[in-house]
């Protein structure tokens, strides 16, 4: 028998990026990097995601609300031969939400939000 004492406060706990379970299942994907929910603001960050069903993947921030849930694109992620999409993106200022979105079929009209980050 073991007794574990869990009374210490958790410090330096890093959260994983938020994700949309339906979209992640549909696109059959997993995040490779970055794996922390909080990413540095106004810096260059490398993103990498493996997706078996996505045809295109992009990184963006929420756009104007008057148009619905549109995104302003920060950049596209390029695919290699192993279904891995990768790219380096300049992140916005602190407190902004950054999304990785995927499109499973051309002509890229139906984008699904896959992962969500916040800048710090």
Contacts of 35 (CB under 8 A, 6+ apart): 14, 16, 17
Confidence (pLDDT) at 22: 92
Confidence (pLDDT) at 70: 61
Q: Which of 42, 50, 34, 60 is nearest to 84 (CA)?
A: 50
List beta partners, residue 39: 119
**Contact by Cβ (8 Å): 47, 89:** yes
Q: Is residue 10 part of a domain?
A: no
User: What does the DSSP assignment read for 40-93?
Assistant: -TTSEEEEEEEESS-SEEEEEEE--GGGSS-EEEEEEEEE-TTSEEEEEEE--S
Q: Is residue 5 part of a domain?
A: no
Q: Is residue 58 part of a domain?
A: yes
Per-run averaged pLDDT (10 residues), the chain, 120 residues: 65 80 91 94 93 89 60 82 88 92 77 92
Confidence (pLDDT) at 111: 83
Confidence (pLDDT) at 75: 81
Confidence (pLDDT) at 3: 66
Confidence (pLDDT) at 67: 46
Q: Is residue 50 part of a domain?
A: yes
**Contact by Cβ (8 Å): 47, 7:** no
Provide the residue range defining the domain that includes 63: 18-119
Confidence (pLDDT) at 71: 67
Cα–Cα distance measured from residue 58 to residue 86, given in angstroms and rounded to the nearest whole number = 9
């Amino acid at each position: 028998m073991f007794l574990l004492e869990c009374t210490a406060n958790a410090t330096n706990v890093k959260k994983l990026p938020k994700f949309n379970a339906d979209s992640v299942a549909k696109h059959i994907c997993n995040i490779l990097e970055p794996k922390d929910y909080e990413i540095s603001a106004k810096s260059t960050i490398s993103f990498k995601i493996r997706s078996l069903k996505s045809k295109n993947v992009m990184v963006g921030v929420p756009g104007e609300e008057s148009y619905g849930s549109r995104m302003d694109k920060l950049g596209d992620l390029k695919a290699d031969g192993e279904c891995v999409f990768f790219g380096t993106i300049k992140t916005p200022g602190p407190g902004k939400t950054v999304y990785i979105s995927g499109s499973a079929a051309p002509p890229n009209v139906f984008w699904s939000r896959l992962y969500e980050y916040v800048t710090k």
